[in-house]
Structure 1
């Protein structure tokens, strides 16, 4: 049996719980039979080589943004840094009282990002020092002010809660309401920072509506990984006149690898812990008129006791209201793993549910005690395929398809699994 609830209601409940370059070799063409060619000179038995001329040094160029005296900037403003023939050696940002703002350079050193949103209607001064290859230091100073809070915010949420432990398939999920337009996604994505320890490469992927962005690696996270996330979107201006509502941060840990695999053909669930088969359970899936989804899903939420009430969705003739134990949500559309004492006789034999994975009470209780939000379950062989965005569907895509959903260019080393260099996406 399943619970058909609206996606909006499910989202509200979950949010309420939370708070390069190539080497060119110079060669000499064959010279034919010219008689004026000289044989190479030898000194002490070695060929004398004429040194190549040294390439001229790159001229030192240094620029900073925003422009001096700029007013009404968003509180998401970064200190842009552009330098040739040298490097940025210092960035200092202070408010009008002289208090220093903490922050850090991006990995590519194209800008300096404050650790928290700037204050509204406040004056700031940025002092940036760059040093040339020859050791020459140059300082640039710019002053600017931020705008007042607009009140025309987008809604946002981060499905990663500080201090929690998650399963190995847990994507970083950022949600937006309304969705982010395609032309704004690159700017928003550039403000989504993820750091993993130990380092594991990853990419962001946007669902087509722009309401969610997922971040994952080519493979499941390593058990014990610490994930630190900052969705630094407060004040970021969007093309529809809205701005980001607030910055969201969390640091979480990945627990043991726990995975479930269900085959419709056998009507059985296999349970693996750290890649070792530990349990096999009979199940009943969705009947032909309400089939379960085939694909890789993620445990999104767990409720030891709940009520499935479908009257609002299905009406008085088809709706039902049922007490449910050990419910684990898999999709926004209402597919769960749960205890189903009424279908024990069918489990392992036939499908009778409304789309859920039915288990015997004892099996459902044991499984509920083992799983974590973020644990993966793969269901195969049913009449319906999992729809993108119906739940946290980040793992229902191949890696090559997943990277296509990024709004920013993906480095070539990240496009092929196994060839990526494990470096953080950005620092905050």
Structure 2
């Protein structure tokens, strides 16, 4: 038996550590005529590992890649700075002709994946082997360190996990600091739905991004957002703290049309008219905003106070009133609510401070019928259209081409 010997040749090419292994010295068996027969040895395996030795500030989600030419990957061990083995597994990476590579032509690439994500601010060492056809072994070792963030961020997400919402509720992702690299963040926000849509993201501000389809969500649809932001550089030294997954359900389609010109509220359930109510919208001094409003929350009893939008209670037109069955449809103070004091004007004129006034029994019915995410489309008001000054959700007032242009990836 010929003893196995290990040889290593190191070459740095294209950012990868490249090692070649070959077998030990050869011997020949004598022939009858005293000559020696030629021997053939397999090419030495070449092993390239990335990240390369000494690389710093690596994202903890950067894959550990191992490219082998003229051989097969063997044992791969990853340890931290304390020498503790990091659990993980090696699998062959799928071929991607478009992916950049500095591995030798014909190399087979494998990826080592940790059982749990690598940590920020940590040094890791990769020890790997590869063998050629003669079972000669090549060794490679590389040490790299992951980035230490200046700070980390975890966004808030709405709707909440496990909730049911109406067809008008967008997905909203709120960051506690402005996002400099919006494209990097957006590329890690994956939305899937049981009924496919053409939904797109739109950055409504530097720290808030929304997702909606071109028309309302299909009813009875399950939607999942995978916010895979751990290891993502959002810019200015701020990195994603963790991944989050939120799954919610879009319920029945409830769309109502509040016509300020005809003073009627028409309520649709799955495209069927179920109620037509006389109403009163905002007066000429306080007109209701036009556009698709989204139900945000409901109060069986609430005190409405004009000072919340800058008008003193004791000023002309000021008020402080206890109201029943209030369904909020924007964050500028607009509700659908009971207004027994304006029943005489409901169906004939607009006298409210911007809300949709109904009788108490009708407001109670609408309150019971509504869920967050339902839509109230206000039409024919003399007021302006919903806009950023009206709070969180004015999404459906933005034309689709403008919405798409608000994506960092458009």
Pairwise same-fold verdict (TM > 0.5): yes
Whose Rg is larger? 2
Report SS of the residue matched to 1:403: helix
Instruction: Report the Cα distance in structure 1 between the residues aligned to 2:359 and 2:218, rounded to whole angstroms.
Output: 31
**For 1:252, which of 233, 237, 248 is the aligned residue?**
248
State the TM-score, normalizing by the size of structure 2: 0.67
Are positions 1:225 and 2:225 aligned together?
no
Deviations along 1:84-135, one digit per CA (max 9) or x if unpaired, are xxxxxxxx997743323899x99x996999998653334567999xxxxxxx
Instruction: Report the Cα distance in structure 2 between the residues aligned to 1:222 and 1:243, rounded to whole angstroms.
Output: 34
Paired residue for 1:407? 408
Give the aligned length.
323
Report the CA distance between 1:149 and its aligned residue.
5.6
Paired residue for 2:189? 192
Instruction: Report the Cα distance in structure 2 between the residues aligned to 1:258 and 1:98, rounded to whole angstroms.
Output: 52
Instruction: Report the Cα distance in structure 1 between the residues aligned to 2:388 and 2:147, rounded to whole angstroms.
Output: 38
Instruction: Report the Cα distance in structure 1 between the residues aligned to 2:285 and 2:199, rounded to whole angstroms.
Output: 38
Paired residue for 1:384? 384
Paired residue for 2:55? 70
Q: How does 1:360-375 map to 2 (within 5 A)?
A: 360-375=359-374
Deviations along 1:23-74, one digit per CA (max 9) or x if unpaired, are xxxxxxxxxxxxxxxxxxxxxxxxxxxxxxxxxxxxxxxx997555433444
Paired residue for 1:396? 397
Paired residue for 1:171? 170
Could you tell me which runs of 5 or more consecutive residues in structure 2 were left unpaired when the two chains were aligned: 1-47, 68-75, 101-110, 129-139
Contact 2:88 2:115 in 1 (8 A): no
Identify the structure with the greater helix proportion: 1
Change (3 A) 1:99 1:186: same
Change (3 A) 1:155 1:198: closer
Are positions 1:98 and 2:97 aligned together?
no
Paired residue for 2:146? 146
Report the CA distance between 1:345 and its aligned residue.
1.6
Report the CA distance between 1:180 and its aligned residue.
3.0
Contact 2:313 2:320 in 1 (8 A): no
Paired residue for 1:210? 206
Report the CA distance between 1:335 and its aligned residue.
1.4
Report the CA distance between 1:398 and its aligned residue.
2.6
Change (3 A) 1:224 1:180: same
State the TM-score, normalizing by the size of structure 1: 0.65
CA RMSD of aligned residues (A): 3.9
Q: How does 1:22-421 map to 2 (within 5 A)?
A: 67-75=52-60, 77-79=61-63, 96=80, 97-100=85-88, 118-123=118-123, 144-148=144-148, 150=150, 152-153=151-152, 156-181=155-180, 184-207=181-204, 209-234=205-230, 236-244=232-240, 246-311=242-307, 313-318=310-315, 319-382=318-381, 383-388=383-388, 390-409=391-410
* Structure possessing the higher relative contact order (Cα contacts under 8 Å, 6 or more residues apart): 1
Instruction: Report the Cα distance in structure 1 between the residues aligned to 2:77 and 2:367, rounded to whole angstroms.
Output: 50
Report SS of the residue matched to 2:361: helix
Report the CA distance between 1:272 and its aligned residue.
0.6
Contact 1:94 1:126 in 2 (8 A): yes
Could you tell me which runs of 5 or more consecutive residues in structure 1 were left unpaired when the two chains were aligned: 1-62, 84-91, 129-139, 410-428
Change (3 A) 1:193 1:343: same
Change (3 A) 1:146 1:162: same
Contact 1:339 1:361 in 2 (8 A): yes
Report SS of the residue matched to 1:315: coil
Report the CA distance between 1:78 and its aligned residue.
4.1
